[in-house]
């Protein structure tokens, strides 16, 4: 059945600007009538059955929800929004809430009902939310009570938003026209089985209330839209990326199958929000596909609390950004983290110093990768057994990647150029002229500079707009950052090119010092850091200017926002 609301379909890029989708491999063959949520639960329950634990809460001895019970709640939500509340399929529904089982159930229920999920970062404010709501013409919003105020403020200039529903109790200070609705009541009153969070299986709980107990019959096609993913803003101007049911299923059959290789016995933890496709894949979609369990915190993780959580619950798999791993390393207990086997790093480039630090503290080789919101998830990566020093990895089976010049001509191995990629997923922006810059001749151009070696390993250099050209030399800001991070005084750093009359651009570093170096003489420390970089990498790459700062601008997912550093030049 076609979607009733064609808003997104009617605003897809012209066919000439759409990516070439490669799905000839057997694992990418899906039926035309297809629903992502149904597919995930079918795959997940095939491993250990409906009684296996899916969602686990943070409270010791707290709630656990089995695959079977989660599937039933998802059906109830789908019944509610389609048949009880009458929201048309294809409608955009904003989800503004932190990671939790309730948030995950809502996302899965909306997608099963044929809605288009529009998840947003919890830290977004009304101004930013308003842009999302207006861009997607969001019809409804499901929000966490503590975040409802910002959505209400955003709604004042967003006429498309008709209803706001809260998860749980509605705080009294939130003004009209907020409608508490029934979704929050549905999620909070249903009984949950009790189990220790690291328990291998759970008993069958009492069945939920008799409301809509029959399985919801999905009527979506694989080419129907499952979600709009808004870019996380490293360039300052977020875009809405369209992904279909088939797109997300294909992503499950790519990197997880070939590189991650998750097991049904895995217990997954991590810091990335579900609104970030790195988090949506790692913290929801991929674990269900594998029949694994997911552990959501009661509060936002700090590096220390994430380490403690891994130890307390026996987590096997962790997802977070490089900066978080560096900070977590300081809190690893003397005995390490015995349960932990897999650590995935993405969201920004992984400096070798952080890889080495994590390995020295845990004995675990980080699984690095590059992905993009536009591609849904990771497309270049390597298993821990195939890691090559300095390399990001090789192309994930199902994808193709090349390093090309400005005219799109493939370069020889060892030469630095623009990365382009195509495969079972691809970029389609919602009504955005920047589509023509991202997709050319069917290839996706993520905006990264790379070089490739003869064995097919790709070496990240920088964002193409972060490459520093100084006195005729191409200098990777990431390489300079990696060198600085190995100095004992440096906690964090960001490197950009600053305008320079003589050299065209000069290398400028913004450095956050470790606490025990905060009182060092700035002039002497600047000289020491410059000399250190000269001795570590080619001398012409050293930062000719160093500014000491308290913090660096980052997105909610941990990405360094170099464009904000450039704004200060």
C-alpha span between 16 and 288 (Å, rounded) = 35
* Stronger pLDDT, 305 or 519, i.e. the higher one: 305
Q: To which residue do tokens 């100095």 refer?
A: 487
pLDDT value of residue 164: 85
pLDDT value of residue 169: 37
pLDDT value of residue 62: 53
**What CATH number is given for 37-47+66-247 in this structure?**
3.40.50.980
Tens of pLDDT, residue by residue over 54-69, are 999 764 445 689 999 9
In the predicted structure, residue 185 carries a pLDDT above the cut 80? no
CB 523 within 8 A of CB 560: no
pLDDT value of residue 360: 95
Q: Mean pLDDT throughout 174-202?
A: 32
Query: Which among 459, 465, 432 has a CA at the least distance from the CA of 446?
Result: 465
C-alpha span between 199 and 267 (Å, rounded) = 10
pLDDT value of residue 213: 58
Counting every residue written for the chain, the total comes to 569
* Stronger pLDDT, 564 or 21, i.e. the higher one: 21
Residue 300 dihedral angles phi and psi, to the nearest 5°: -60, 135
Tens of pLDDT, residue by residue over 316-349, are 999 998 889 989 999 999 989 999 999 999 877 7
pLDDT value of residue 232: 55
Residue 510 dihedral angles phi and psi, to the nearest 5°: -105, 120
Tens of pLDDT, residue by residue over 86-116, are 889 999 999 999 999 999 999 999 999 999 9
**What pTM was estimated for this model as a whole?**
0.81
- pLDDT band of 175, cuts 50, 70, 90: very low
pLDDT value of residue 347: 76
C-alpha span between 256 and 287 (Å, rounded) = 9
In the predicted structure, residue 159 carries a pLDDT above the cut 90? no
Q: Mean pLDDT throughout 226-254?
A: 86
pLDDT value of residue 201: 22
C-alpha span between 39 and 226 (Å, rounded) = 13
Chain mean position to CA 299:
18
pLDDT value of residue 193: 26
Encoding tokens for residue 101?
A: 């089982």
pLDDT value of residue 492: 93
Residue 442: DSSP 8-state: T
In the predicted structure, residue 562 carries a pLDDT above the cut 50? yes
Tens of pLDDT, residue by residue over 9-26, are 999 999 999 999 999 999
* Stronger pLDDT, 187 or 174, i.e. the higher one: 187
pLDDT value of residue 194: 27
- pLDDT band of 184, cuts 50, 70, 90: very low
CA angle 119, 293, 328 (to 5 degrees): 75
In the predicted structure, residue 518 carries a pLDDT above the cut 50? yes
Query: Which among 431, 439, 426 has a CA at the least distance from the CA of 7?
Result: 431
- pLDDT band of 124, cuts 50, 70, 90: confident
Counting other chains too, the contacts that 12-19 makes at CB distance below 8 Å and 24 or more residues apart are 12/242, 12/428, 12/430, 13/428, 13/429, 13/432, 13/435, 13/439, 17/435, 17/436, 17/439, 18/426, 18/428, 18/439, 18/442, 19/422, 19/426, 19/427, 19/428, 19/439, 19/442, 19/443, 19/444
C-alpha span between 567 and 555 (Å, rounded) = 16
Q: Mean pLDDT throughout 533-559?
A: 89
pLDDT value of residue 472: 65
Q: Mean pLDDT throughout 63-79?
A: 90
pLDDT value of residue 63: 64
Tens of pLDDT, residue by residue over 341-353, are 999 998 777 888 8
Q: Mean pLDDT throughout 61-80?
A: 86
The radius of gyration of the chain's CA atoms, rounded to the nearest angstrom, is 24
C-alpha span between 46 and 29 (Å, rounded) = 19
Strands (E), 170-292: 225-230, 240-244, 267-270
CATH architecture of 467-567: 2-Layer Sandwich (3.30)
In the predicted structure, residue 207 carries a pLDDT above the cut 70? no
pLDDT value of residue 127: 83
Supply the mean pLDDT for the chain.
87
Cα distances (angstroms) measured from residue 436 to each of 218, 230, 376, 379, 446: 34, 18, 18, 21, 12
Spell out the domain ranges in the chain. Answer: 37-47+66-247, 467-567
Residue 289 dihedral angles phi and psi, to the nearest 5°: -55, -35
In the predicted structure, residue 4 carries a pLDDT above the cut 90? no
C-alpha span between 157 and 243 (Å, rounded) = 27
């Amino acid at each position: 059945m076609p979607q009733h609301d064609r808003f997104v379909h009617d605003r897809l890029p012209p066919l000439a600007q759409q990516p070439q989708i490669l799905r000839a491999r057997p694992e990418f063959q899906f039926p035309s009538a297809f629903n992502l949520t149904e597919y995930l639960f079918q795959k997940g329950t095939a491993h250990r059955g409906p009684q296996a634990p899916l969602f686990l809460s943070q409270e010791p001895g707290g709630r656990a929800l089995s695959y079977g019970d989660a599937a039933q709640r998802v059906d109830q939500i789908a019944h509610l929004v389609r048949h009880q509340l009458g929201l048309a399929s294809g409608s955009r529904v904003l989800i503004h809430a932190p990671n939790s089982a309730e948030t995950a159930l809502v996302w899965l229920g909306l997608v099963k009902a044929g809605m288009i999920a529009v998840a947003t970062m919890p830290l977004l404010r009304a101004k930013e939310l308003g842009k999302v709501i207006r861009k997607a013409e969001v019809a409804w919003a499901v929000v966490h009570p503590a975040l409802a105020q910002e959505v209400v403020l955003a709604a004042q200039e967003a006429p498309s938003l008709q209803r706001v529903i809260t998860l749980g109790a509605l705080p009294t200070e939130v003004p009209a026209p907020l409608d508490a609705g029934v979704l929050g009541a549905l999620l909070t009153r249903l009984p949950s089985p009790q189990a220790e969070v690291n328990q291998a299986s759970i008993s069958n709980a009492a069945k939920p209330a008799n409301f809509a107990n029959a399985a919801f019959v999905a009527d979506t096609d694989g080419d129907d839209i499952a979600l709009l993913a808004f870019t996380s803003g490293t360039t300052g101007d977020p875009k809405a990326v369209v992904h279909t049911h088939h797109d997300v299923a294909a992503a499950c059959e790519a990197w997880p199958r070939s590189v991650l290789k998750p097991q049904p016995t895995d217990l997954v933890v991590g810091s990335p929000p579900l609104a970030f496709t790195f988090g949506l894949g790692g913290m929801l979609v991929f674990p269900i596909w594998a029949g694994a369990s997911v552990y959501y915190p009661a509060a936002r993780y700090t590096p220390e609390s994430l380490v403690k959580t891994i130890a307390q619950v026996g987590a096997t798999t962790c997802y977070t950004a490089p900066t978080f791993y560096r900070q977590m390393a300081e809190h690893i207990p003397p005995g390490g983290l015995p349960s932990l086997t897999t650590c995935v790093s993405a969201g920004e480039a992984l400096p070798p110093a952080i890889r080495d630090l994590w390995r020295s503290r845990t004995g675990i080789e980080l699984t690095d990768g590059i992905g993009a919101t536009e591609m849904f998830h990771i497309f270049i990566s390597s298993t821990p057994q195939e890691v090559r020093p300095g390399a990001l990895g090789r192309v994930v089976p199902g994808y193709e990647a090349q390093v090309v010049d400005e005219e799109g001509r493939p370069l020889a191995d060892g030469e630095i150029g623009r990365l382009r990629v195509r495969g079972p997923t691809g970029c389609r922006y919602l009504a955005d002229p920047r589509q023509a810059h991202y997709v050319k001749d069917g290839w996706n151009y993520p905006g990264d500079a790379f070089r490739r070696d003869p064995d097919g390993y790709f070496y990240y250099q920088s964002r193409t707009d972060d490459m520093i050209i100084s006195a005729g030399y191409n200098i990777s800001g990431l390489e300079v950052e990696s060198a600085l991070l190995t100095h004992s005084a440096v906690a964090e750093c960001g490197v950009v090119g600053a305008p320079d009359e003589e050299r065209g651009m000069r290398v400028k570093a913004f450095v956050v010092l470790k606490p025990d170096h905060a009182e060092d003489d700035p002039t002497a420390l600047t000289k020491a850091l410059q000399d250190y970089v000269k001795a570590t990498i080619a001398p012409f790459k050293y930062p000719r200017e160093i500014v000491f700062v308290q913090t660096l601008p980052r997105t909610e997912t941990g990405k360094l926002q170099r464009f904000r550093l450039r704004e200060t030049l």
